[in-house]
Amino acid sequence: MKTTIKAGGAIILSGLLLAGCGGQAKASQTKPSSASQLTLMTKQIKNLYADSKYEMLAKGLSKSMLTKADNQKAKVYKLRGDLSKAQKRFLGSIKNNLLLQKKFFQFRAC
Both 26 and 39 in one domain: the answer is no
- Domain extent, residue 4, equals 1-31
Q: How many domains does the chain have?
A: 2
Both 65 and 47 in one domain: the answer is yes
Residue 72 parent element (H or E): helix 63-78
* Consecutive 10-residue averages of pLDDT for the chain (110 residues): 51 53 49 80 85 77 87 88 88 85 77
- pLDDT at res. 25: 47
- pLDDT at res. 100: 83
Both 8 and 61 in one domain: the answer is no
Helix (H, G, I), strand (E, B) or coil at 57: strand
